[in-house]
Amino acid sequence: MSNYLKVSLSPHIHSKDDTGKLMKGVIIALIPALIASVYYFGLGAIIVTLTSVAACVVFEYAIQKYLLKGPVTITDGSAVVTGLLLAFNVPSNLPVLIIILGALVSIGIGKMSFGGLGNNPFNPALVGRVFLLISFPVQMTTWPVPSGFKTGYADAVTGATPLGIIKEGLRNGETIPQLMNQVPDHMQLFYGYMGGSMGEVAAAALILGLIYMLFRKIITWHIPVSIIVTIAIFTGILWLINPSQYADPLFHLLTGGVMLGAIFMATDYVTSPMVPKAMLIYGAGIGILTVVIRIFGAYPEGVSFAILIMNAFVPLMNAYIKPGRFGKEVKNG
Q: Does 322 bind another protein (CB under 8 A)?
A: yes
Residue 313 binding another protein, by CB under 8 A: no
Contact residues for 21 (Cβ-Cβ < 8 A; gap 6+): none
User: What's 264's DSSP letter?
Assistant: I
Query: What is the footprint of another protein within residues 63-82 (CB under 8 A)?
Result: 73, 76, 78
Q: Which is nearer to another protein, 296 or 326 (CB)?
A: 326
Distance (Å, whole) CA 292 – CA 98: 29
Tell me the Ramachandran region of residue 145: left when phi exceeds 0, alpha when psi lies from -120 to 50, beta otherwise: beta
Single-letter code of the amino acid located at 280: L
* Separation between Cα atoms, residue 135 and residue 140, nearest integer Å: 9
Nearest-approach distance from CB 44 to another protein, in angstroms: 32
Q: Let me know the angle formed at the C-alpha of 306 by 91 and 247, rounded to the nearest 5 degrees.
A: 75
Q: Check: CB of residue 235 under 8 Å from CB of residue 291.
A: yes
CB of 78 to another protein, least distance (A): 8
1 lies in the binding site for another protein (CB under 8 A): yes
Segment near another protein (CB under 8 A), from 9-17, 95-103, 184-192, 291-299? 9-17
Contact between 220 and another protein by CB under 8 A: the answer reads: yes
Pairing of the two strands 143-144 and 158-159: antiparallel
The least CB distance from residue 39 to another protein, in Å, is 32
Q: Determine if the peptide bond prior to 11 is cis (ω within 30°).
A: yes
Site string for another protein, 108-147 (x = CB under 8 A): --------xxxx----------------------------
Q: How many C-alpha atoms does 203 have within 13 Å on its Cβ side? A: 21
Smallest separation (angstroms) from another protein to the CB of 303: 21
Which position among 39, 269, 299, 313 is part of the footprint of another protein (CB under 8 A)?
A: 269
Q: Which residues bind another protein (CB under 8 A)?
A: 1-3, 5-15, 17-19, 21-22, 73, 76, 78, 116-119, 220, 269-270, 272-276, 318, 322-333
